[in-house]
Amino acid sequence: MQAQQENNYSSSSYTKEEISKLESRYQFCGHPLRITRDFSSNLGISAIIWEAGLVLCRYFEQEKISFSGKKVIELGSGTGIVGILAALLGGDVTLTDQLMVLNQIQFNITNNIPVSIQQRAKVSTLLWGDNLDQFPINYDFILGSDIVYNSRDFPALIKTLQHLSNQNTVIYLCSKMRESMGAIEFHEKLLPQHFNTEIVHRTADKEINVFKVTKKGLDAIENPLM
């Protein structure tokens, strides 16, 4: 069941003609990236390369973060740029999003990760809070850029982070701190109820933060004063 879930998407699902050619080029950690956004499928916000994603990639570069040999999952991958970089940096990465977005992610995996190591990047549907039992709980890293913007999703997002993480999991969330969309409430009130969280990077305009998040011990959750 597990293997099936993590491999439930095939690279043969798209044709090159199906993906419109709007390509943006970047370079992180010495890896050139060509990221294509699929405007032919009405993907909306998933067909944008969000600034928070680029900030998180730059953070990995500046901090020389290695994912070598690590088990990684990305939530709300969008174009896949963050998860693809994590795979190029050695991670065994599952890039997740809503089903309709997987074609775009797989296209970018195929275009950016050499065939010899493409098995490091798998795509899978993961709707926050849904069917979590199909995913393991032994990830070394959980990544998410610009996934904190809809307060209705916050309980499901926290449930997802709780399920996928253990005491050793490092979660990197990169968020644009839009108060009107609840990002401040999520990061300052909701997330700290269950996780230790610290800002490890902030853009010069202070609009985007990278948070390093780890699961609180059971004692801390049962007795927050400890």
Ligand X SMILES: C[S@@+](CC[C@H](N)C(=O)[O-])C[C@H]1O[C@@H](n2cnc3c(N)ncnc32)[C@H](O)[C@@H]1O
Q: How far is the CB of 199 from ligand X (least distance, A)?
A: 18
For position 182 contacting ligand X by CB under 6 A, the verdict is no
CA 68 to chain centre: 17
173 binds ligand X, rule: CB under 6 A? no
Q: Which stretch binds ligand X (CB under 6 A): 2-10, 72-80, 87-95, 199-207?
A: 72-80
Helices 102-112 and 81-88, packing angle to 10 deg: 30
| 83 is a site residue for ligand X (CB under 6 A) | no
Pull the structure tokens for residue 161. 């982070």
Of the CA atoms within 13 Å of residue 114, those in its CB half-sphere come to 7
- Tokens 């370079």, residue located: 27
46 forms part of the interface with ligand X (CB under 6 A)? yes
**Terminal CA-to-CA distance of the chain, rounded, Å?**
39
> Which region among 23-31, 108-116, 144-152, 195-203 touches ligand X (by CB under 6 A)?
144-152
In three-state secondary structure terms, 165 is coil
Considering only residues 19, 33, 52, 173, which one is a binding residue for ligand X as defined by CB under 6 A? 52
- Residues of this chain that interact with ligand X (CB under 6 A) are 45-46, 49-50, 52-53, 76-79, 97-98, 101, 126-128, 145-147, 153
